[in-house]
């Protein structure tokens, strides 16, 4: 049986798109559900384009009920992927899917992680610190923001004169290139 992936995303969903593309013709795994807290998120359109069901949830449902756990269990989800999802994952969800939730972060953790460190805030901090390199991190999710075990990092050089857009672009290229591949190799290692 194919491994089953659920993706949480709050915004554009360009990474969700790459993952859906990657597994569209795979015999190993498939994306079975897109979940979002944001009814305006463009990721919903992307899910529709791939004819993949989506679920919009509220803060109440996420933090105060078991509704999402039941939904994911009913769909027999093997791996939960956070791709631009900004809420802290609650303990009941972590417990229901131990070592089965991974996140993508747009910097080289442990630097530039933690609450409030997402999207452009991360790239701004990297620029202000005059770092010579940045990158991406894919890591397991635990009860703290951006602190779970690291699965993969890729890095790029920051050239003199690189602005926020340039850093963001270089990071995005790496994300799109590596995230689907890292998910695939993790799924291969996971026992069924």
Asked if 187 touches ligand GAR (CB under 6 A), the answer is no
* 190, 85, 136, 81: CA torsion to nearest 10: 10
Asked if 148 touches ligand GAR (CB under 6 A), the answer is no
Alpha-carbon torsion 130, 110, 104, 13, what sign? negative
Asked if 7 touches ligand GAR (CB under 6 A), the answer is no
Asked if 118 touches ligand GAR (CB under 6 A), the answer is yes
Residue 113 is assigned to a ligand binding site: no
Of 148, 147, 156, 149, which is closest to residue 175 (Cα–Cα)?
Answer: 156
Residue 10 is assigned to a ligand binding site: no
174 token code pair? 């790496």
Pick 67 or 184: Cβ nearer ligand GAR: 184
Q: DSSP assignment, residue 136? A: E
Q: Which residue has the tokens 């530039």?
A: 112
22 is catalytic: no
Residue 15 is assigned to a ligand binding site: yes
φ, ψ of residue 98 to 5 degrees: the values are -65, 130
Pick 13 or 180: Cβ nearer ligand GAR: 13
Q: What residues are labeled active site?
A: 105
Residue ranges in contact with ligand GAR by CB under 6 A: 9, 11-15, 83-84, 104-106, 118-119, 122, 175
């Amino acid at each position: 049986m194919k491994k089953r992936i659920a993706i949480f995303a709050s915004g554009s969903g360009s990474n969700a798109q790459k993952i859906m593309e990657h597994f569209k013709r795979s015999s190993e795994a498939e994306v079975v559900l897109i979940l979002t807290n944001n009814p305006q998120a463009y990721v919903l359109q992307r899910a529709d384009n791939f004819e993949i069901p989506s679920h919009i949830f509220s803060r109440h449902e996420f933090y105060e009920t078991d509704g999402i756990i039941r939904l994911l269990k009913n769909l027999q989800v093997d791996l939960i992927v956070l791709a631009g999802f900004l809420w802290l994952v609650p303990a009941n969800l972590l417990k229901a899917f131990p070592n089965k939730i991974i996140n993508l972060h747009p910097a080289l953790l442990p630097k530039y992680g933690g609450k409030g460190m997402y999207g452009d805030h991360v790239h701004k901090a990297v620029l202000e610190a005059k770092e010579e390199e940045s990158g991406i991190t894919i890591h397991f999710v635990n009860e703290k923001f951006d602190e779970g075990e690291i699965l993969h990092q890729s890095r790029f050089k920051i050239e003199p004169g690189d602005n926020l857009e340039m850093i963001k672009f270089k990071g995005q290229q790496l994300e799109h290139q590596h995230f689907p591949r890292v998910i695939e190799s993790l799924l291969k290692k996971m026992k069924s």
